[in-house]
Amino acid sequence: MIEFKNTTKIYDNNVFALSNINLEINRGEFVFMVGPSGAGKSTFIKLLLKEIEPTTGRIIVNNEEIGKISRKNIPYYRRKIGMVFQDFRLIPTLNVYENVAFAMRVVEGSRKEIRKKVPMVLAMVGLSKKYKCFPNELSGGEQQRVSLARAIVNNPSVLIADEPTGNLDPETSIEIMKILNDINHAGTTVIMATHDKGIVDSMKKRVIAIEKGVIVRDEQRGRYGYED
C-alpha cells in the first residue's frame, strides 16, 4: 500500500529531516505518527503528498512509485489522498454543503454525484442539519467534521490527519477520533500525526515514533511514549 524505501530528505540548510526511512503501511491500517516537534513527521506527510521530493530513496503508493509521476499527473495522484488539518482550512465564504461539494467539483464530479454524495458524508459526520451553516457559525469540532467530510467525499484510499484534534477540547477530540475510526473500519488507510498522548494510548493502534528524522519505534498496539 505505502512503502518508503531507503528514503532520505535533506533540506538546503543541510538538515537531515528524514534519514534512511524504511517503512511499510498496509491497506486498511490505522497508524499514529508521534515524536517531538521537528522530528520529521511533517516532512513525511509532505513527501507522501508529493509536495516535496526525497533526496534519495523511493516512495511507493498503491504499487506506483510516486517519484515517477509527472507534474501534470500530480493532481490525479492527490485525489487518492484525503487530508485533514489542525486548522480546518475551510472556505469561509462557502457553507457546509458547498465546502464539501467543492472537493468534488475540483475533481470534476457531476452535479448528480454531488447531490448524492455530499448528504451521505454529512450524515456520516453528524452534520446533516448544519448543511446551510457557514464556518463562522460552527464550533471547532463541527468545523473539523466538515473538514473530515470534505477529505473523504472522493473516496480516498488514504486519509492523512495532521494534528486533527490539536485545537479541540478532550470531549470533542473523542468524537473526531470515533469518526476517524469509523472511516478506517470502512476500509480507508488512516495516518495520523499527533502529540495527543491520551488518544494514542487509548486507541491501541500501530504507533510509529520518529526522532531526529529516524524511526525509533514501530509497535502494533503501541503507546505514545513521550513525557509532555
Query: Which range among 77-86, 184-193, 195-204, 208-217 shows the weakest confidence by mean pLDDT?
Result: 77-86
Q: What average pLDDT does range 138-154 have in this prediction?
A: 95
pLDDT in tens, 58-110: 999 999 999 999 999 998 898 889 999 889 999 999 999 999 999 999 888 89
pLDDT in tens, 171-190: 999 999 999 999 999 999 99
Q: For the chain, how big is the Rg over CA atoms in Å?
A: 18
C-alpha–C-alpha distance, residues 184 and 201, integer Å: 18
Return the number of other C-beta atoms located less than 10 Å from residue 50's C-beta. Answer: 18
Does position 213 have pLDDT exceeding 70, yes or no?
Answer: yes
Q: Which residues contact 20 (CB under 8 A, 6 or more apart)?
A: 6, 7, 8, 57, 214
In Å, what is the CA distance from 212 to each residue of 9, 16, 23, 24?
A: 12, 8, 16, 20
Output the pTM of the full model. 0.93
